[in-house]
């Protein structure tokens, strides 16, 4: 995979921009030392999960008529319990998430709820914490819809984001603006955990000791508003109990036997899926995808608007989520870079919503992590180093794989890397624009390239199941597109017209905003060569220059009058 000629010619420019970025590092350094101080205050992954779960168990999800009066609604709920927090949002109707001070408050409210009487249909009398608020005529009086403040659960469109980014004063700030615009909000995180808790109640009708835990981008710190909700049915609380011997006797449960662990997982997911489909209020469009490598049931939870993927026996994925969470917490530049790279990849068609030979968000995140481990000095430690820092409580072996690494963030010493985000983003494009994917494999455990053990176009070693490649699905064509787009973006990022915010009206894309303009997929065939990456980018630069000339904010500002 070779660099385009235009990229080679402009390679020297990279050092100029690197020097500029280095100067900015001095300023960044002071800011960084302040941020690093706060790392000690950050909670471990398990602590966050535990607190959020407990909060969700004290919460109700209530569908409200659009003319609900907030004050009357709260007064009604407060008669039976102590409302701690609440918010309203819209998804196929208006909903309220209400958190109470105690679980007993929730039980007390539920005592007042009734099963609806349906005139032409029949109700499945499954009681859950998803309720509907009914108002009498009095409650409906003069309460216009606009009186409810609705929390948004969707992210801005890329077009609106670009407008926002154009107003940024530096590329570093643009990366932070993008992260703020896309990341999950406090309310959205609460809603995600509440949906897990509601689904757990359904699964608990078969397995009372079970848990349903979120994993993936809902909890790893890299979730974008609107991302799916990955769920894991955890039955370990049931099977881990050791037999209690009384005298010479002990009892064990008679159980159904299945030929393999996978068959047992498929059977459990099938039944729980059926139960969610038949009895789960708000759960629609359930599909059982039980023959996948990792069997799952997929459905929409309408009241939250989440697409849910429920898996079981998938503990390694939880460990991956914990590891990514840890990396994201160690330095806030990690999240900013991942969000920006993911967004760039989406607009450039490198990732897709449709499963296929594309790179996935997870793959891209691993690539960012590896790139940051390779900086000099490294920004984040290798997984091997995190393993060395682990305490006895962190010990974790799954299916013979050692998944141990430190969970206490305060034990991970701060790295000395002070590069600016602008420098890192450019570095990412250059690193992968030049990476020898033919020969090398990406290994975040060692933080070093390894010789590729197999012929897949892209090889990223699964950090916990060493024989697996997390990017096995990616084909040569998609990898080439990624590499070429990295090269184009590195080139573009170094152009003066793109790299400087000298745009008085704020309507001409610059910096990160310019990188988020879709570049057409690089042409493969010779007859399409006229539309080469270089010529497309030249066109873009021409249009940027001419619009700048038009608005009077010419690029050549430095000439004295
Ligand atoms: P988005 O949903 O795209 O925002 O990101 P995500 O990280 O949640 O990805 P996804 O929903 O596709 O997968 C959920 C989780 O499953 C990931 O975070 C990983 O922990 C795990 N996962 C996904 N794909 C792979 C894979 O190919 N190999 C391994 N080992 N784990 C994967
Ligand atoms: Mg996901």
Confidence of residue 322 (pLDDT cuts 50, 70, 90): very high
Q: Give pLDDT, residue 553.
A: 38
225 within ligand 1 shell (Cβ under 6 A): no
* Contact yes or no for 166/32 (Cβ under 8 A): no
Q: Give pLDDT, residue 529.
A: 39
How much distance in Å is there from the Cα of 326 to the middle of ligand 2? 17
pLDDT greater than 50 at residue 556:
no
87 within ligand 1 shell (Cβ under 6 A): no
pTM as predicted: 0.86
CA of 320, closest atom in ligand 1? 20
pLDDT greater than 90 at residue 24:
no
Q: Give pLDDT, residue 532.
A: 47
CA of 468, closest atom in ligand 1? 30
Average pLDDT over the chain reads 85
Estimate the crossing angle of helix 315-330 against helix 332-347, to 10 degrees. 110
User: How would you classify the pairing of strands 450-451 and 440-441?
Assistant: antiparallel
Lowest mean pLDDT among 33-37, 107-111, 552-556: 552-556
Q: Tell me: cis bond preceding 377? Omega within 30 of 0 counts.
A: yes
Nearest to 303 by CA among 128, 83, 485: 128
How much distance in Å is there from the Cα of 93 to the middle of ligand 1? 30
Confidence of residue 498 (pLDDT cuts 50, 70, 90): confident
Instruction: Compute φ and ψ for 211, nearest 5 degrees.
Output: -135, 150
Q: Name the residue with the closest Cα to ligand 1, atom 13.
A: 216
Q: Give pLDDT, residue 118.
A: 86
Q: Name the residue with the closest Cα to ligand 1, atom 27.
A: 470
- Please tell me which residue, 309 or 69, carries the higher pLDDT value: 309
228 within ligand 1 shell (Cβ under 6 A): yes
Confidence of residue 538 (pLDDT cuts 50, 70, 90): low
Most ligand 1 atoms within 8 A of CB, residue of 213, 230, 289, 362 to mutate: 362
Span 79-88, pLDDT tens digits: 999 999 999 9
Q: Which residue has the tokens 């530096």?
A: 170
> What is Dmax (Cα atoms) for the chain?
100
Q: Which residue has the tokens 């036997």?
A: 257
Nearest to 181 by CA among 195, 160, 205: 160
Ion ligand 2, residue ranges at CB < 5 A:
216-217, 228, 230
Cα 497 from Cα 514, distance rounded (Å) = 10
- Please tell me which residue, 146 or 300, carries the higher pLDDT value: 300
Span 107-155, pLDDT tens digits: 999 999 999 988 889 889 999 999 999 987 655 545 555 578 899 898 8
314 within ligand 1 shell (Cβ under 6 A): no
Span 194-231, pLDDT tens digits: 999 999 999 999 999 999 999 999 999 999 999 999 99
How much distance in Å is there from the Cα of 362 to the middle of ligand 1? 5
3-state per-residue secondary structure call for 206-269? CCCCCEEEEEHHHCCCCCECCCCEEEEEECHHHHCCCCCCECCECCCCCCCCCCCHHHHHHHHH
321 within ligand 1 shell (Cβ under 6 A): yes
How much distance in Å is there from the Cα of 302 to the middle of ligand 2? 17
317 within ligand 1 shell (Cβ under 6 A): yes
Instruction: Compute φ and ψ for 473, nearest 5 degrees.
Output: -75, -20
Q: Give pLDDT, residue 88.
A: 96
Span 324-359, pLDDT tens digits: 999 999 999 999 999 999 999 999 999 998 989 999
Nearest to 444 by CA among 359, 358, 361, 386: 386
How much distance in Å is there from the Cα of 183 to the middle of ligand 2? 13
How much distance in Å is there from the Cα of 549 to the middle of ligand 1? 46
Cα 219 from Cα 192, distance rounded (Å) = 9
Q: Give pLDDT, residue 7.
A: 38
232 within ligand 1 shell (Cβ under 6 A): no
Buried b (16+ CB within 10 A) or exposed e, 345-363: bbbbebbeeeeeebbbbbb
- CA-only gyration radius of the chain, Å: 26
433 within ligand 1 shell (Cβ under 6 A): no
Percent of the chain with pLDDT over 70: 82
Q: Name the residue with the closest Cα to ligand 1, atom 12.
A: 362
Nearest to 420 by CA among 508, 325, 331: 331
478 within ligand 1 shell (Cβ under 6 A): no
pLDDT greater than 70 at residue 523:
no
Instruction: Compute φ and ψ for 308, nearest 5 degrees.
Output: -105, 135
Q: How far is CA 490 from the centre of its chain?
A: 25
Query: What mean pLDDT do residues 17-38 have?
Result: 40
How much distance in Å is there from the Cα of 216 to the middle of ligand 1? 6
How much distance in Å is there from the Cα of 216 to the middle of ligand 2? 5
Percent of the chain with pLDDT over 90: 69
pLDDT greater than 90 at residue 289:
yes
* Contact yes or no for 515/493 (Cβ under 8 A): yes
Neighbours of 503 (CB within 10 A): 21
Span 438-473, pLDDT tens digits: 999 999 999 999 999 999 999 999 999 999 999 999
């Amino acid at each position: 995979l070779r660099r385009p000629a235009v990229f080679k010619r402009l390679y020297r420019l990279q050092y100029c921009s690197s020097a500029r970025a280095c100067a900015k590092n001095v300023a960044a350094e002071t800011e960084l030392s302040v941020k690093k101080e706060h790392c000690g205050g950050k909670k471990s992954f398990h602590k966050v999960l535990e607190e959020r779960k407990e909060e969700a168990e004290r919460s109700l999800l209530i569908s409200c008529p659009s003319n609900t009066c907030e004050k009357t609604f709260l007064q009604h709920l407060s008669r039976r319990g102590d409302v701690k927090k609440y918010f309203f949002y819209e998804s196929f109707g208006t909903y309220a998430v209400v958190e109470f001070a105690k679980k007993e408050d929730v039980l007390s409210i539920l005592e007042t709820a009734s099963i609806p009487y349906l005139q032409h249909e029949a109700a499945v009398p499954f009681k859950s914490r998803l309720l509907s608020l009914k108002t009498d005529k009095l409650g409906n009086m003069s309460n216009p819809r606009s009186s409810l403040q609705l929390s948004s659960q969707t992210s801005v469109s890329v077009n609106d984001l670009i407008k926002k980014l154009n107003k940024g004063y530096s590329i570093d700030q643009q990366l932070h603006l993008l992260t703020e615009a896309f990341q999950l909000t406090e309310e959205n995180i609460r809603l995600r955990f509440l949906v897990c808790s509601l689904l757990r109640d359904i699964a608990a009708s078969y397995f009372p000791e079970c848990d349903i835990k979120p994993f993936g981008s809902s909890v790893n710190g890299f979730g974008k508003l609107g991302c799916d909700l990955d769920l894991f049915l955890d039955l370990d609380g049931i099977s881990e109990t050791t037999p209690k011997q009384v005298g010479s006797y002990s009892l064990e449960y008679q159980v159904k036997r299945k030929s393999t662990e996978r068959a047992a997982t498929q059977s459990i997911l099938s039944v729980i899926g059926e139960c969610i489909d038949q009895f789960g209020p708000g759960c629609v469009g359930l599909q059982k995808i039980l023959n996948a490598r990792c069997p799952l049931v997929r459905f929409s939870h309408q009241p939250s608007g989440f697409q849910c993927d429920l898996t079981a026996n998938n503990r390694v994925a939880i460990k991956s989520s914990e590891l990514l969470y840890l990396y994201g917490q160690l330095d806030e530049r990690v999240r900013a870079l991942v969000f920006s790279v993911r967004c760039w990849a989406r607009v450039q068609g490198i990732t897709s919503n449709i499963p296929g030979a594309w790179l996935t968000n997870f793959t891209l995140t691993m690539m960012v992590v590896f790139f940051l481990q390779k900086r000099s000095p490294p920004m984040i430690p290798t997984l091997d180093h995190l393993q060395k820092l682990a305490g006895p409580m962190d010990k974790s072996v799954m299916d013979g794989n050692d998944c141990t690494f430190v969970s206490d963030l305060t034990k991970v010493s701060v790295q000395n890397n002070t590069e600016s985000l602008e420098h890192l983003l450019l570095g990412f494009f250059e690193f992968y624009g030049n990476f020898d994917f033919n020969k090398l494999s990406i290994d975040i455990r060692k933080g070093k390239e390894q010789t590729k053990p197999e012929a897949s176009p892209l090889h990223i070693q699964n950090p916990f199941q060493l024989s697996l490649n997390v990017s096995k699905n990616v084909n040569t064509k998609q990898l080439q597109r990624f590499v070429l787009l990295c090269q184009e973006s590195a080139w573009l990022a170094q152009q003066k017209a793109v790299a400087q915010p000298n745009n008085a009206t704020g309507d001409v894309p610059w910096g990160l905003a310019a990188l988020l303009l879709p570049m057409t997929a690089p042409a493969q065939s010779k007859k399409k060569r006229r539309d080469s990456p270089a010529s497309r980018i030249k066109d873009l630069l021409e249009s940027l220059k001419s619009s700048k000339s038009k608005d009077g904010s010419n690029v050549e500002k430095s000439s004295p009058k």
